[in-house]
């Protein structure tokens, strides 16, 4: 059973707030604690990707072309997450570490912008769904 769109948006809000809180907490932690936190976050991210892939598989043949594109993006994100694990395990010297930190901050910024865009697209899709439902109700009355 699919959750109502309003509930899904509420879940999204909770996840975004938790991400914000986790980042604020990480900035105050020791390196080892942040590395441990990253391991937890990576596991949670992998779990949500697996759940999303499972949800998309269960959607079956009722996928539109934009949904198929989203499915491809999720698969690519899952592959990138797996590929990055080995890279993160490498030791970096101070100069490379600083450069990598700058790159990661830039990637995080882009990911946040992407998430904001995804939220806007989800909002548009939810409004379209409401309009579609209202149109269906109106069509039944006619």
Token pair for 57: 């598989």
Across all residues in the chain, what is the average pLDDT?
80
pLDDT tens per residue across span 130-139: 888 889 999 9
pLDDT tens per residue across span 27-46: 898 888 888 888 888 888 88
SS (H, E, C) 27-56: CCCCHHHHHHHHHHHHHHHHHHHHHHHHHH
- Predicted pLDDT of residue 87: 63
Which of 110, 92, 83 has its CA nearest to residue 35? Answer: 92
* Mean pLDDT lowest among 64-78, 96-110, 121-135: 64-78
Angle, vertex CA 50, rays to CA 11 and CA 87, nearest 5? 105
This prediction has a pTM of 0.56
Q: With bands split at pLDDT 50, 70 and 90, how would you rate the model's confidence at 101? A: confident
Distance CA 142, CA 130 (A): 19
Token pair for 109: 């910024």
Distance CA 17, CA 25 (A): 12
């Amino acid at each position: 059973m699919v959750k109502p769109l309003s509930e899904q948006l509420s879940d999204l809000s909770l996840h975004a707030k938790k991400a914000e809180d986790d980042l604020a907490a990480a900035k105050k932690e020791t390196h080892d604690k942040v590395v441990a936190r990253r391991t937890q976050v990576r596991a949670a991210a992998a779990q949500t990707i697996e759940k999303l892939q499972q949800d998309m598989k269960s959607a079956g043949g009722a996928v539109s072309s934009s949904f198929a594109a989203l499915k491809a993006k999720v698969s690519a994100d899952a592959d990138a997450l797996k590929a990055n694990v080995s890279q993160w395990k490498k030791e970096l010297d101070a100069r490379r570490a600083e450069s990598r930190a700058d790159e990661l901050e830039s990637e995080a910024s882009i990911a946040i912008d992407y998430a904001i865009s995804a939220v806007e697209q989800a909002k548009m899709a939810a409004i379209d769904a409401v309009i579609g439902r209202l149109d269906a109700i109106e069509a039944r009355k006619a």
